[in-house]
A and B are shown apart, each in its own frame.
Chain A
């Protein structure tokens, strides 16, 4: 009972070869079988595997040379003799046991015996040769009885390796646990026993020590993995949500966590390289005008209402652009702050682009090709739609509902593809709906433009109400709240398939948000231009004031005048800080709106539904208000746009990223709590695996779009004259030129100037385009080749199948025939070693190729599954075993190995 598998493995590998050996004189059936197997095998692969052993090396070429090397090796191994003897006898015993178990296989062998008359002579010849060697080595070698020849050693080594392989692949075998444990224990014992003995002479203790270390190492690795899993933040929370709400809701939280990681890196960059150096080494607050609150604002600068709007002391702090000085170097480190500021601004975008694209690429690689899934819509729905993770009856109910819906959807799809409906009406309705939505978008854009314009007027006035100050934010939030449902209503006209409708909905909300953001930006840009045009006059006033102050007559000349207090110096409006403040306020108000929506829309509603249900005239939980669903698309889009604002604003407000880190942190906890406490899972769950790259694509688009305005302002607007690290320069990027000129050797400056030459840049861009074109065409051709190969595999597989089914039918008629062809296969494999061409081999390679995306371990794991079918399948299948065998055979460890090794 103990070794059915091993027995079969031996049988397949050794059995066929063993027959040749059994014909030889002087050896028993068992003992003859084994060495002979090794022999054929060794002739093929000894050089590669055990090239270090001299005796075998000599014989590797297939031309055995008896003589000195043999003797040497015999001496060398003299002390392993007894051990090997002992081992061999035990192996014989076990193999005997195995044989008994596997009557069928040996029966097949016996039947196959006459068939292989052709091969037998050759084998016998080899066997005799080897026998000769053995006896010669016996004569010359050690004195006590039989020596340990290479065959024995090789066999042990082989077995040890087999066992090791078995240990490694134990996990992928469909055995019951008891058997796994037993096999594992046996294999480990075996390996421990013989590997130490066969070690290169260092002895058992070293080996034992090594094994111990290996065990410890494995355990340590496992513990470390566990530790790593525990270190992933919020893993438990997310898994909890996943098991209650399915993987799609969890995908939002995973996305949020990813975003948090990205923002932490950005935060580290900005804080470590800009804010902390400035705080530690820069001039302190109040030393120069740009770091001081102006006299007019001084009294109210600490009021909460002022601080809440990021005015007052916060405006003149390191959180905003205007606070930084244009000194080239600061502190005793001579830290080049303006340079660092610029480079950090660039690298924030660089890092974000890189990380987004990288994660997109890795998502793409992880997924299998999309085209294939179309072939198996119903099958996938049937066999993979149930999420085994669901451990909550409510979620399960929803999952049942969603599966039913998706089945119905697919059925409708199927039926719809056949029938034709009124095309003209549908088209008209769709055009109408799009027209309405475009109207909505334009209207919302105009509304925002109008409001921003108005707010600029308000900002000039003195005492404005709270509403007037926050009008922009309020209008934008309201638009974001009410437009999506409106779009959904309009989209009902279109009569799209819900899946496509969802994509449209996402796209439209995206367009709305984007339009709003850009309108906001354009209005802001107007404001900036206005401030820039005023700047010249303010600059003159400042100069005049300063010169007037210092040169005015009527002051005692002998006493040097105290310098003008920084708070009294007239200032420009510093548009950069104004932009930063706008983004800061937008971010904060966005956060607050999100939280309040969650609190009111989800939590209070849930409380109401839950507790008022006892005293209400209809069922609140099932009826109208019910509980809120978690709005994945809205949340993800909100997150994406928030991130866009962070990217845009971080150049002018370095503290914005810090605020955002806080926001993401709180919203992680808050939303986790809100989801678990007051939401119900979606009715229509859309798959996380598909949409993750869609979200990443949106994020990339937003990143690009938020890069544009920042790049525009940096490149084409002059910085303010009296605030920020670039003040006094014509353009912000001049700081690079300055650094290159002053801090680098002159030839480097020349090189940079040369590199900046348009004559070099344009060809470089052209080259890049060519490279993109080339790579694109290469990838296209590769994917085409891929598709063709897949088609070929499909065809091959079908041919194979039909062939097999024909054969299977023949087998059913004449079961006697099968074993013959079966073992012929095995023999061929043994004999030729390198052959691929036998039918079974080509089929197995087919199997491998069918899962091109799968890792090597996965494809390696195919064989055991099919290999054991005859063993563990219920008896019902036995009658068709002839069908399953030809394919299963070549995978058994022994023969499979001997067939494959030569390739390595």
Chain B
């Protein structure tokens, strides 16, 4: 596989859309985590991001996207990254930490101070508009 290495760089993706997590998406779907996509990776990404993809698959990849340090858990640091990216750093430090605290408070089922995949799935599967927003249309 991969004889023809058609590589998509994050810059190309950036030209396509203005997504705060584009870097993460590229990293998650690239084979070696550096954000360069082969054709297969690219197809992968769109099969996950398509409207037809099942909820659990989307939830699984969403978890990977939000897990910035790739440790299998969404910890407070990951949450801070997410908030900062979502708001372009317009919230003050206290506000960010308050938000992270609230998120952990809400979604952390086992109270270990970080979100496991299960916590995340449990939370995201109840979100009313996760499915409607977590897809990309070409």
Q: List residues of A whose CB falls within 8 A of some B CB.
A: 171-174, 176-178, 239, 243, 247, 367-368, 372-373, 375-380, 382-393, 396, 400, 403-404, 407-408, 410-411, 414, 687, 689-690, 797-798, 801-802, 804-805, 850-851, 854, 857-858, 861-862, 864-866, 869, 873-874, 876-877, 880
B residues contacting A by CB (< 8 A) are 1-2, 16-21, 31, 40-41, 43-44, 47, 49, 52-57, 59-62, 66, 70-72, 79, 82-83, 86-88, 90-91, 95, 98-99, 102-103, 106-107, 109-110, 112, 117-118, 120-130, 132-137
Q: What would be 24 A-B contacts, judged by CB atoms less than 8 Å apart?
A: A176-B41, A177-B44, A247-B129, A372-B126, A373-B126, A376-B123, A380-B127, A382-B79, A384-B129, A388-B19, A388-B133, A389-B136, A391-B16, A391-B17, A404-B91, A407-B83, A407-B91, A408-B95, A687-B129, A689-B129, A797-B109, A801-B110, A861-B55, A861-B56
Determine if A384 and B86 form an interchain contact, defined as CB atoms under 8 angstroms apart. Answer: no
Asked if A172 and B52 sit within 8 Å, CB to CB, the answer is no
CA distance A404 to B90 in the complex (A): 7
Looking across the interface, which residue of chain A has its beta carbon closest to that of B125?
A: A851
Among candidates B47, B106, B132, residue contacting A375 with C-beta atoms closer than 8 Å: B106
> What residue of chain A has the Cβ atom nearest to residue B64's Cβ?
A174
Which chain A residues border B107 with CB–CB below 8 Å? 376, 379
Across-interface contacts of B83 in A (CB, < 8 A)? 382, 407
B residues near A400, Cβ cutoff 8 Å: 20, 86-88, 90
Q: Is the CB of A392 within 8 A of B18?
A: yes
Q: Once bound together, how far apart are the Cα atoms of A388 and B61, in whole Å?
A: 14
Min CB–CB distance B130 → chain A (angstroms): 4
B59 neighbours in A (Cβ, 8 Å): 865
Q: Which residues of A contact B137 (CB under 8 A)?
A: 239, 243, 389, 391
Question: Which residues of B are found within 8 Å of A802, using beta-carbon distances?
Answer: 110
| B128 & A689 in contact (Cβ 8 Å cutoff) | yes
Residue of B whose beta carbon sits closest to that of A243: B137
Contact B86 A382 (CB under 8 A): yes
B80 to chain A, nearest CB (A): 10
Q: Known contacts A243-B137, A368-B126, A874-B70; decide if A382 and B95 are in contact (CB<8 Å).
A: no
**Known interface pairs A172-B54, A177-B41; A384-B126 also in contact (CB < 8 Å):** no
Contact call B86/A805, Cβ cutoff below 8 A: no
Q: CA–CA, A391 to B13, complex, Å? A: 11
Q: Would B91 and A386 count as touching, CB distance under 8 A? A: no
Contact (Cβ within 8 A) A178 B2: yes
- B106 and A396 contacting across the interface, CB-CB below 8 Å: no
Q: Are B1 and A388 in contact (CB under 8 A)?
A: no
Let me know if A382 and B112 touch, CB within 8 A.
no
Q: Are A386 and B20 in contact (CB under 8 A)?
A: yes
Minimum CB–CB distance from B16 to chain A (whole Å) comes to 7
Q: Which residues of B lie under 8 Å from residue A375 when comparing CB positions?
A: 106
Which residues of A are found within 8 Å of B91, using beta-carbon distances?
Answer: 404, 407-408
Residues in B whose Cβ lies below 8 Å from that of A869: 117
Residues in A with CB closer than 8 Å to B66 are: 383
From A171, A383, A404, A690, contact of B130 by CB (8 A): A383
Which of A373, A411, A857 interacts with B98 by CB under 8 Å? A411
> Across the interface, which residues of A come within 8 angstroms of B136, CB to CB?
388-389
Closest-CB distance, B111 to chain A (whole angstroms)? 8
- The distance in angstroms between the C-alpha atoms of A375 and B103, with both chains bound, is 10
How far, in Å, is B106 (CB) from chain A's closest CB? 5
Residues of B within 8 A of A378 (CB): 99, 102-103, 106
Do A379 and B106 touch across chains, with their CB atoms under 8 A apart? Answer: yes
Partner of A171, one of B54, B103, B120: B54
Bound complex: CA of A805 vs CA of B119, how far in Å? Answer: 13
Chain A residues with CB under 8 Å of B19's CB are 386, 388, 390, 396
Among residues of A, the one whose C-beta sits closest to the C-beta of B20 is A386
**Known contacts A386-B21, A797-B109; is-contact A877 B72 (Cβ 8 Å):** yes
Given contacts A176-B44, A805-B112, contact A876 B125 (CB under 8 A): no
Chain B contacts for A797, CB-based, 8 A: 109, 122
By beta carbon, the residue of chain A nearest B126 is A372
Contacts of A850 in B (CB 8 A): 122, 125
When distances are taken between beta carbons in the complex, the residues of chain A under 8 Å from B109 are 797-798, 801
B49 to chain A, nearest CB (A): 7
A383-B124 CB under 8 A given contacts A378-B102, A388-B136, A865-B60: yes
Known A-B contacts A376-B127, A400-B88; the reply to A391 vs B56 at CB < 8 A is: no
Determine how close the nearest CB of chain A comes to the CB of B101; give it in whole angstroms. Answer: 9
A65 vs B100: C-alpha distance in the bound complex, in angstroms? 66
Q: How far is the CB of B72 from chain A (nearest CB, A)?
A: 4
Cβ-defined contact, A861 with B57, below 8 A: yes
A-chain residues with CB within 8 Å of residue B1 when the two chains form the complex: 178
Tell me the nearest residue of chain A to B135, going by C-beta: A388
With known contacts A404-B87, A862-B56, A177–B43 Cβ distance under 8 A: yes
**How far, in whole Å, are A268 and B88 apart by their CA atoms in the complex?**
52
Known contacts A171-B54, A383-B120, A414-B102; 14 further A-B pairs (Cβ under 8 A): A176-B44, A178-B40, A239-B137, A382-B82, A384-B124, A384-B134, A386-B133, A391-B17, A392-B18, A410-B102, A801-B110, A851-B126, A854-B55, A876-B71
How far, in Å, is A842 (CB) from chain B's closest CB?
A: 15
Task: Report B129 CB to chain A, min CB distance, Å.
Answer: 5
Contact of A379 with B71 at beta-carbon distance under 8 Å, contacts A174-B57, A384-B133, A388-B134 already known: no
Listed residue (A376, A377, A850, A877) with the most chain B CB atoms within 10 angstroms of its CB? A376
Question: What residues of chain B lie closer than 8 Å to A392, measured between beta carbons?
Answer: 18
Could you tell me the distance between the alpha carbons of A378 and B123 in the complex, rounded to whole angstroms?
11
B127 CB contact (under 8 Å) in A176, A178, A383, A873: A383
CA A373 to CA B90, docked complex, whole Å: 25
Instruction: Report the minimum CB–CB distance from B64 to chain A (whole Å).
Output: 9
Give the Cβ gap from A856 to chain B, nearest Cβ, in Å: 12
Contact in complex: B61, A174 (CB < 8 Å): yes
Structural contact, A383 and B71, CB atoms closer than 8 A: no
How far, in Å, is B40 (CB) from chain A's closest CB? 4
Tell me, rounded to whole Å, the shortest Cβ–Cβ distance linking B73 to chain A.
9
Nearest-neighbour CB distance to chain A for B131, whole angstroms, equals: 9
Distance in angstroms between the alpha carbons of A869 and B18 in the assembled complex: 30
CB distance B82 to A389 under 8 Å? Answer: no
Given A404-B91, A407-B99, A865-B59, verify A391-B127 contact (CB < 8 Å).
no
A408 to B92, CA, bound (A): 10
The answer to whether B90 touches A172 (Cβ under 8 A) is: no
Is A171 within 8 A of B56, CB to CB?
no
The answer for the CA separation of A384 and B132 in the assembled complex, in Å, is 9
Question: Please, which residues of chain A bring their CB within 8 A of the CB of B57?
Answer: 171-174, 861, 865
Q: Is the CB of B86 within 8 A of A376?
A: no
Q: Which residues of B contact A862 (CB under 8 A)?
A: 56
Q: Which residue of B lies closest to A869 (CB)?
A: B117
Contact residues in B for A389 (Cβ distance below 8 Å): 133, 135-137
Question: B42 to chain A: closest CB distance in Å?
Answer: 8
CB neighbours (8 Å) of A239 from chain B are 137
Known A384-B127, A386-B20, A689-B132; contact A174-B55, beta-carbon cutoff 8 A: no
In Å, the complex CA distance between A487 and B52 comes to 44
